[in-house]
Chain A
Amino acid sequence: MKKFALIKLLLWLLAMAVSGCATVQPWEKGELADPIMIFDENPIDAGINEHYRDYREGSVGGTGAQSGGCGCG
């Protein structure tokens, strides 16, 4: 039950975030174009983090970075 409550909470947060957004015009995206606003701006770096965690923790996925085929599952 606790698990499903958390899932609902995450989905609710996402829904609230998406429904509350206003259209941002292309010329208004100057701040968003900053490299520090990009999720996983360096995919190699993100992959390194993801992999050593994969081998030391029992869960994978849900992070945005892709991993697999490593014999660590």
Chain B
Amino acid sequence: MAELARRVGAVAVVREGSVFLLLLSCFALPVAAQELPDDELQVTFNSYFDNFGVSIVYPTMSYTKRVGQSSSINARYLVDVISAASMRSHFIVDGVTSATEKEDGGGDDSPDEIRQEFGLGMSRLLDKGTLSVNGIYSTEHDYSSTTLATTYSYPFARKNTIIQVGLVRSWDKSFPQIRDWEKSKDIYTTSLNVTQVLNKRLIAQGILSYSYSKGLHSDPYQVVQIIEGGAVVNYEPVHPDRRNRKAIGVRMNYKFERKAALQMGVRLYWDDWDVTSFTTSMSLLNHLSEAATVGLGFRSYFQSAAYFFKEEYAQPEQYMTVDSKLDKGFSHELQFKLTLNGGHFKRLPLLSNRNTALNFKFNFYYRQTDTPNWHRRTKELFAYIMSLGIRHRF
């Protein structure tokens, strides 16, 4: 049975990678709401590796340009690719999944999983505030997603208070080759952010978020195994088709000395699947000199299980899942960041320009769940995330 589970699980590894990083954030919350983003070109090379055997590389490119005095447009392209080596080592096609063959690649059984994402957006000054609208389309061989996000930021009290309202609407379609159906998921998200300048060195931010989704919530590549009459029978996971999610967060950023800032945050989340979580985070950023800035961050996360999550199911139930992210558990994350500012490194061609910055980031992520993962049979996940990027402001 373990071998069967391992083979079925191999498919899930591929899927997990394929949906990794489907959407980036659409906007930042600037200190001053009535400011447009700078003209810039950003190219970043990202990678992800974990002990579940998933390795992904995903370069991104974004371009932002002002149009006239009151508008700015941005475009973004992202592609993520699971490395062929990792897919070959983990992917085993079997009769249980009945994965189909595709000669041109990109199928569930082909080691060239690629996802592309296209983004287009606009920001415009309206009265004293800023309106931003972003559209994103993501496509891969078994999944597509369209997202429309809009925010409006407005400053008060001599720009010491900024209120931002956000609306995000997503339409997702899932059409896995190992299933004979196509299903959709619709997501509605609203958020309210209040940013307050407290004094010359301290900024606080409160965040309220509500999200409602309906449709397919389960991962079609996961399998719930139930022993019936001495034989293992595979079932599709079944999650409730609706979910209401709420979150509240508070974070503060304090500038101490002249070169360092300390950011601290707490966040509480709860939903109608009985998942609750509590997150704390802290990061320290320090200008070593005009040429270099380093950052060190730590994040801790604690979560309860969804009410229908079980380690084993004795018989088919209305809702069944093996998804580790619905299990009780915790995670810790350590981050290191380094920014080198151009103009201070005459011998380095990319950094000889003072408008260019080089960003490097390394994250170590550790997660532990109460129940062993359904296909890896381990409670622990280790992940290493790295990125190296160039940011050039015009």
Interface string of A47-61 (1 = CB under 8 A from B): 111111101111111
Closest A-chain residue to B37, C-beta based?
A43
Interface string of B93-137 (1 = CB under 8 A from A): 000000000000000000000000000000000000000000010
Which residues of A lie under 8 Å from residue B219 when comparing CB positions?
71
Report Cα–Cα, A71/B211, bound state, in Å. 14
Which residues of A lie under 8 Å from residue B191 when comparing CB positions?
61, 66
A-B pairs, top 3 by smallest CB distance, nearest first, are A62-B247, A69-B170, A47-B24
Which residues of A lie under 8 Å from residue B287 when comparing CB positions?
36
Interface residues of A (CB under 8 A from B): 3, 6-7, 10-11, 13-14, 17-18, 20-26, 28-34, 36-53, 55-73
Interface residues of B in 126-179 (CB under 8 A from A): 136, 138, 143, 145-147, 149, 157-161, 166, 168, 170-172, 174
Complex partner residue of A55 from B26, B325, B326, B385, CB under 8 angstroms? B325
Whether A68 pairs with B168 at a CB distance below 8 angstroms is yes
Kindly name the residue among A18, A33, A38, A58 whose own CB sees the greatest number of chain B CB atoms within 10 A.
Answer: A58
Q: A23-B157, A52-B385, A56-B325 are in contact. Are A46 and B203 (CB under 8 A)?
A: no
Whether B301 pairs with A69 at a CB distance below 8 angstroms is no
Label chain A's interface by main secondary structure. loop
Interface residues of B (CB under 8 A from A): 16, 19-31, 42, 44, 46, 48, 60, 62, 76, 136, 138, 143, 145-147, 149, 157-161, 166, 168, 170-172, 174, 185, 187, 189, 191, 193-201, 203-211, 213, 217, 219, 243, 245-253, 255, 258, 260-261, 263, 266-271, 273, 275-278, 285, 287, 293, 295, 301, 303, 306, 324-326, 331, 359, 361, 363, 365, 367, 381, 383, 385, 387, 391
Whether A67 pairs with B25 at a CB distance below 8 angstroms is yes
Report Cα–Cα, A20/B204, bound state, in Å. 11
Which residues of A lie under 8 Å from residue B269 when comparing CB positions?
59-62
Which residues of B lie under 8 Å from residue A29 when comparing CB positions?
197, 200
Closest B-chain residue to A40, C-beta based?
B28
Whether A39 pairs with B205 at a CB distance below 8 angstroms is yes
Closest A-chain residue to B143, C-beta based?
A71
Distance from A54 Cβ to chain B, minimum over Cβ atoms (Å): 9
| 14 cross-chain CB contacts under 8 A | A17-B252, A29-B200, A31-B255, A32-B203, A36-B295, A40-B28, A42-B359, A45-B387, A47-B23, A58-B325, A62-B268, A69-B168, A71-B185, A72-B22
